[in-house]
Amino acid sequence: MLWQGRFTKELDVDVNDFNSSLYFDKRLYKEDISGSIAHVTMLGDCDIIPKDEAKTIAKELTVILDNVENGSLVIEGAEDIHSFIEQELTKRLGDLGKKLHTARSRNDQVATDLRMYLKKEIDFISGQIKELNIVLDDLVKEHKDTIMSGYTHLQKAQPITFAMHLEAYIEMFKRDLSRLDNCFWRMNECPLGAGALAGTTHPINRAQTADLLGFDKSMTNTLDSVSDRDFCIELASSISIIMMHLSRFCEEIILWCSDEFNYIELDDAYATGSSIMPQKKNPDIAELVRGKAGRVFGNNMALLTMLKGLPLAYNKDMQEDKEAIFDSIDTVKICLKAFTPMIKTMKVLKENMRESANKGFINATDVADYLTKKGVPFREAYKIVGEIVAYCIEKNIVLEELSLEKYKEFYDKFDKDIYQEISLENCVMKRNVKEK
């Protein structure tokens, strides 16, 4: 154990397993080695240890990284990834390897490793979202004239285009990218050099290690450096919002491919069948994404709960940060990986969308607007159109099928131009919400 000396007994075997984090933090091996190379390079440059020794340690750390990458070195048999790397180094270099941890604590070490790892994952997730938005943008260009019903309360409301509907999700995902960018920016400060909580008496150069590891700067307060996990919560929250957006989209995909809507058909490669009903084509991918959103929300709450009662600075509770944030990252990545090609390959049944839009009186508001443009107060126009809709429902017809004579019975200011005014294409074209 790294902390031997004070203790007279070996740690209980079961307690050792309980205490260990290696099985989940071993994914940080690359960041841990990179951080150690930067740290030992700084130690040499600051003459805290001889430069030739620093170079030897850095070189051997690079060899250890290569060994892990090519599978010749298996990560096992240690309390955590940090102790594994240090023990392996000491095994190879003897007492020289023991100098690596000079002016460093596992507290600032793990905080640095985690920030480095999460920054890399933010870049990857951002790339996935950008890829999804490219797919959506291609669909937008293809369906600028595809008329469909817009809904409120899951009831047909007003006519829109499928492109407009998809653009709403593009805007959501743009905000997700913005949140990830902001999270990255706040995360991009280096804790290394904070030690356990109060810094170190050695004349280290924190700015050098921060620069070597690609951080904008070092963190200001050493207690905050080792006890802060806001960046985990912020990323978990940002991922939760991404998953919420994906889940909403999946809910619509599930509805749209049902026989009741029949707006889209999923590609066979992104749907499944039934074990007993041969006719079934189930949207399982969309359902799984919708279901996995719940576990991501739970991870976000777990992080908040873990931190809410912790005094400064580091507490062992904080070891629980990794499984939660790692699971959220893994989940959103696999969901985006499955979701994007599912959307790209789905078949849009535009004729069915248009036919469905003909029903439900989604141009009723346009009839009211028509009257207000002729000087009728809106509330009076609203009442008149409500009576017209009620009549059409009774007669099982739509507004386009109502005769001009009947329109005039409800209000004499109706004219033959009403039919042009309420065509679904015109209803969509007339609505302009862009800034002038």
Query: Residues 349, 365: one domain?
Result: no
Residues 249 and 315 in one domain: yes
Domain-embedded: residue 2: no
Q: Does residue 55 lie in a domain region?
A: yes
Task: Give residue 13's pLDDT.
Answer: 67
| Calpha distance 133→251 (Å, rounded) | 18
Range of the domain at 370: 359-429
Domain boundary among 330, 355, 380: 355
Residues classed as catalytic: 153, 274
Query: Residue 152: beta bridge partners?
Result: 155
* Position 121 in a domain: yes
State the total domains in the chain.
3
Does the reported pTM lie above 0.85? yes
Last residue of a domain, which of 317, 332, 355? 355
Residues 18 and 54 in one domain: yes
Confidence grade of residue 16 (pLDDT, cut at 50, 70, 90): low
> Residue 286 and residue 292: Cα distance in Å, rounded?
10
43 is a domain residue? yes
144 is a domain residue: yes
Contact 257, 283 (CB under 8 A): yes
- Does 329 share its domain with 424? no
Same domain for 271 and 309, yes or no, is yes
**Domain containing residue 33: CATH number:** 1.10.275.10
Residues 403, 296 within the same domain: no
Instruction: Tell me the mean pLDDT in the region 9-29.
Output: 80
pLDDT at 102: 97
Does 394 reside within a domain?
yes
- Is there a single domain that holds both residue 187 and residue 261? yes
Residues 23 and 78 in one domain: yes
Residue-wise pLDDT tens digits, 283-331: 999 999 999 999 999 999 999 999 999 999 999 999 999 999 999 999 9
The better pLDDT of the pair 436, 189 is held by 189
Query: Which CATH number do you get for residue 124?
Result: 1.20.200.10
User: Do 43 and 142 fall into the same domain?
Assistant: no
pLDDT band at 436 (very low <50, low <70, confident <90, very high): very low
What's the rounded Cα separation, in Å, for the pair 183 and 296?
A: 17
Cα 249–Cα 251–Cα 256 angle in degrees, nearest 5: 95
What is residue 223's three-state secondary structure? Answer: helix
**Do residue 328 and residue 186 come from a single domain?**
yes
pLDDT at 11 over 80: no
Query: Do residue 342 and residue 289 come from a single domain?
Result: yes
E strands of 131-252, at which residues? 147-152, 155-161, 189-190, 217-218
The residues, ordered by sequence, that sit 6+ positions from 356 with a Cβ below 8 Å of its Cβ are 148, 149, 156, 261, 263
pLDDT tens track for 376-432: 999 999 999 999 999 999 999 999 999 999 999 999 999 999 999 999 999 998 876
Pair 380, 307 in one domain = no
pLDDT digits (tens, 9 = 90+) for 228-252: 999 999 999 999 999 999 999 999 9
* Mean pLDDT for the stretch of residues 351-379: 95
